[in-house]
Amino acid sequence: MEFLDKAADVLIIGGGAAGCYAAITLAEEHPKLSVLLVDKAGIKRSGCLAAGVNALNAYITPGHTPEDYADYAAKDAAGIVRDDLLLTMSRGLNEVTRRMEELGLVILKDEAGQYVSRGWRNLKINGENIKPLLAAAVRRCPNVEVLEHVSAVDYLQADDGAVTGAWGVGVRQDKVYFLQAKAVICATGGAAGLYRPNHPGSSRHKMWYSPFNTGAGYAMGLRAGAEMTTFEMRFIALRCKDTIAPTGTLAQGVGAAQVNAAGERYQHKYGNTTSERLYAVVSENLAGRGPCYLETEGITEAQQDSLERAYLNMAPAQTMKWRETGLGPASANVEVEGSEPYVVGGHTASGYWIDAARATTLPGLFAAGDVAGGCPQKYVTGAFVEGKIAAQSAAAYAAERPGAALSAAARERIRTRIETLLTPPAASPLFTVESLEEAMQQVMDEYAGGITAGYRYTEKQLGLAARHIERLTRLSENLRAADGYGLVQLFELQERLLICRVLIEHLKARRETRWHAFAENLDYPGTNPALEKYVNSRLSDGKVQIIYRDLVKRGDRYEHQH
């Protein structure tokens, strides 16, 4: 293993939507700053947008305001949102959309040159190449260096707790990098792979969220002492059966309603928030009225042709399934199912507890995109806005801060840890990364509200889940790796185990059912007005400490009390 040093004014961890946009912003607004963007894979297709995206789901259309968008997001999340974060995000949506169009994104326009919307907040695009366009823009930035195939493991911290960089492991080469910076932007995305997936066998990674988003940023933050929020608002996607392809294109695009096996429309019985649309499917199935479908039968051939192309631009499996079976959406309704639960800040609100400048509770550390909490329904454009705000804040912070040198002791600790993990075990090990990951996913599935539990849980079950996760965490400490790729897999397992541990405590702390399916606590089936609060957490002396915080409503602006 080779140990290497790199330094920059600003380090961006993660080159997805938020990270790339942060880099582009720093190049445009602070061309004299040196920027290092590190990504676990290659930025052309890394992150959530690898296959493309079907629409821009967050845009302020004429006649609407950023306040309307914030109100919509607050209603969908039953009030557990940060209004200051939603407003600062919403106010930037249209500008980043224009910028993406300049970078080459095709957005549908009418004859008058106005964007054509799908509903009041979505724009129709060709999003297949959105990630290559972003990556190309980053590569044109003269002050941005891109370090690919390097997975960040932990932050580097100064004596006062300030974040001064990160260290990471080369996935393809046996190299460890010490990446030092004056300010750090975390944009690593959310966490998939915590729960047993829809297809645990040969298609275990056929999931909604990127299986390569392992929650690294959450785990790094927790280990460094950062405060997190709202992990318990899990996101569970309603998807096309098997292909796990989006359903919004069918529901909003061609107006397909949900129907059960008897062909009955049932949505009105359950409400129409994101969690209620999923809960409706779960409930109909539990009542013996499944499977459930989106009622597409009878759409025109022209509509079917357009849908085939739309899916090729984001989820080609769905078009392939229609063609392979010979049963396109015009001739057969599309069956739907729920995914396994995720922890993510772009659809729901899980992530770093930040202020409106996207500063975390750790000095020098900023967060944007799915890893940043409190600001749900941000989607791709919202992630861009957060990347931009975080970039501006990080640049201002870096200007004030002299670079801190990594101490020899810290360097030696990391070196020793790596060498220990690469030392072959004395005896043949009983457990592998894979077997512990499967065990973790089974525990979460059965005891912490996974697919087979109908997303429901009790306090007693959560207690069992916590004990099993603690056991698996202990076992993971004996695992060893053979190379950089193996090390990264081992670190990813440990990240997920830590996130599971914190998630369970969040689920326990919300003693109510505020969102059906997303957090369905069978011991507390109703809402509790006393829990109109954020559930936050931080690691303190190795223990998960839960903090309840008051809601930040319209007109309020949260400030950290350092």
Give the footprint of other proteins on this chain (CB under 8 A): 40-42, 44-47, 50-51, 54-55, 106-108, 116, 118, 124-129, 148-149, 171-172, 199, 201-207, 210-212, 242-243, 249-250, 252-254, 303, 306-310, 312-313, 316-317, 319-321, 323-325, 485
Q: How far is the CB of 311 from other proteins (least distance, A)?
A: 9
Q: How far is the CB of 471 from other proteins (least distance, A)?
A: 25
Q: Are 390 and 367 in contact (CB under 8 A)?
A: yes
- Whichever of 63 and 326 has its CB closer to other proteins, that residue is 326
- Whichever of 322 and 515 has its CB closer to other proteins, that residue is 322
- Whichever of 369 and 374 has its CB closer to other proteins, that residue is 369
By C-alpha distance, which of 292, 305, 209, 302 is closest to 256? 292
User: Residue 65 — φ and ψ, nearest 5°?
Assistant: -130, 165
Amino acid at 60: I
- Whichever of 488 and 517 has its CB closer to other proteins, that residue is 488
- Whichever of 35 and 41 has its CB closer to other proteins, that residue is 41
459's tokens: 């306090």
Q: How far is the CB of 402 from other proteins (least distance, A)?
A: 36
- 3-class SS at 185? strand
Please state, in angstroms and rounded to a whole number, the distance separating the CA atoms of residues 70 and 63. Answer: 15
497's tokens: 């185990």
- Whichever of 197 and 449 has its CB closer to other proteins, that residue is 197
Q: How far is the CB of 561 from other proteins (least distance, A)?
A: 39
Q: How far is the CB of 141 from other proteins (least distance, A)?
A: 19
- Whichever of 12 and 33 has its CB closer to other proteins, that residue is 12
Q: How far is the CB of 309 from other proteins (least distance, A)?
A: 5
Q: How far is the CB of 252 from other proteins (least distance, A)?
A: 8
305's tokens: 């042709």
- Whichever of 149 and 456 has its CB closer to other proteins, that residue is 149
String of DSSP letters for 383-431:
HHHHHHHHHHHHHHHHHH-PPPPPPHHHHHHHHHHHHHHHSPPSS--S-
Please state, in angstroms and rounded to a whole number, the distance separating the CA atoms of residues 247 and 12. Answer: 33
92's tokens: 């930037």
Q: How many CB atoms lie within 10 A of CB 548?
A: 12
- Examine residue 316 and say whether the peptide bond preceding it is cis (omega within 30 degrees of 0): no
Q: Are 518 and 234 in contact (CB under 8 A)?
A: yes
Q: How far is the CB of 173 from other proteins (least distance, A)?
A: 11
User: Residue 134 — φ and ψ, nearest 5°?
Assistant: -65, -45
Q: For residues 323-362, b (16+ Cβ closer than 10 Å) or e, as one string? A: eeeeebbbeebbbbbbbbbbbbbbbbbbbbbbbbbbbbbb
- Whichever of 172 and 554 has its CB closer to other proteins, that residue is 172
Q: How far is the CB of 398 from other proteins (least distance, A)?
A: 29
